[in-house]
Homo-oligomer: A and B are copies of this chain.
Amino acid sequence: MAKSSARKTRVPRGEARERIVRAAVEAFAEKGFEAASTRDIAQRAGTDQGLLTYHFPSKDALWRAAADRVFGIFESLDDRLASLEHADPKERSRGVIREFVRLMAKHPEFFRFMVDCGNRTDARQRWLVDTHIKPRFEYMKEHGVARVAGIEEAAVPHAFYALAGAAALIFAVAPNCRRLTGLDPRKPDAIEAHAEFIANLVVP
C-alpha cells in the first residue's frame, strides 16, 4: 500500500465497460450517433478513447450496446403492467398509458434513439427496428391499448406513433419546454400531469 500512485486497486471485471455503455447512452441520446464523439464518451466515462476500441470493435458496436441498454427499460414496464391485469378494461387502459408516460419521463433517451435514426435507411436503422422496435410494436398490438380502446387493425401504426410522440416528446425536449412554457417536465408533478393528460386523451 501507500504507493505514491493513486491507482485504483483494480476494479471488478466489466466495471469500466459498464461506465462506457452508460456514458454512450447519454452521449448518443444527447447529440445523436455521428455528433457524439468517442472521445466525448470516454471522458464522460472517466477513461480514454483507447479503452473504447478495446471493449468495442467499432463505434457502431458501441452504439448497438447502448441501444440494447436503452431498450432494456421496457423490462421494468412489463412487471408494472402485470399488476394491472385485474383492473376493469377502462381503468386498465388508463393505467397502462400512465405507466408508459412515466417510463418515457424517466428515460427520454428512448425517444431520442428512435428519432435519431428514424429517418435513415441505413444498416443501423434496420438493426434497431428489427431487433428492438418490432418486438415492442408486436407486444403493444397484442397486450396494449389497441384491443381495449377498440382500435381497428389498420389504425394501429397511427396509434403507435401518435401515442409514442404524445407521451415522450415533452420529456425529450425538456429544456425546450422549460424555456418556452416555464414548466419543467422533469419534475414529478409535471410527469403525473402529463400522464393524466395523455390518459384522458386516449381513454376519455
**B-binding residues in A (CB < 8 A):** 29-35, 108, 112, 114-121, 125-126, 129-130, 133-134, 137, 154-170, 172-177, 179-181, 183, 185, 193-194, 197-198, 201-202, 204
Chain B residues near A133: list those with CB within 8 A. 176, 180
On whether A162 and B201 interact (CB within 8 A), knowing A112-B119, A115-B173, A181-B157, the answer reads yes
On whether A176 and B32 interact (CB within 8 A), knowing A157-B181, A170-B158, A170-B161, the answer reads no
Residue of B nearest to A137 (CB): B180
Number of identical monomers bound together in the oligomeric complex: 2
Q: A162-B197, A162-B198, A164-B169 are in contact. List 5 more A-B contacts (CB 8 A).
A: A158-B170, A162-B170, A165-B166, A165-B168, A204-B204
Residue of B nearest to A29 (CB): B119
Residue of B nearest to A175 (CB): B121
Chain B residues near A176: list those with CB within 8 A. 114, 117-119, 125, 129, 133
Chain B residues near A204: list those with CB within 8 A. 204
Chain B residues near A134: list those with CB within 8 A. 180
Decide if A169 touches B179 in the complex (CB within 8 Å).
no
Chain B residues near A118: list those with CB within 8 A. 172-176
Q: Of residues A35, A129, A159, A162, which shows the largest number of chain B Cβ atoms within 10 Å of its Cβ?
A: A162
Which one, B108, B116, B155, B177, contacts A161 given CB within 8 A? B177
Decide if B125 touches A175 in the complex (CB within 8 Å).
yes
Residue of B nearest to A136 (CB): B180
Q: Of residues A164, A169, A193, A202, which shows the largest number of chain B Cβ atoms within 10 Å of its Cβ?
A: A169
Decide if A160 touches B173 in the complex (CB within 8 Å).
no
Rounded to whole Å, the gap between the CB of A179 and the closest CB of chain B is 5
Rounded to whole Å, the gap between the CB of A23 and the closest CB of chain B is 16
Q: List 10 A-B contacts (CB under 8 A).
A: A30-B119, A32-B35, A117-B176, A118-B175, A120-B175, A125-B175, A129-B180, A157-B180, A161-B169, A161-B170
**Bound-complex Cα distance A154 to B197 (A):** 11
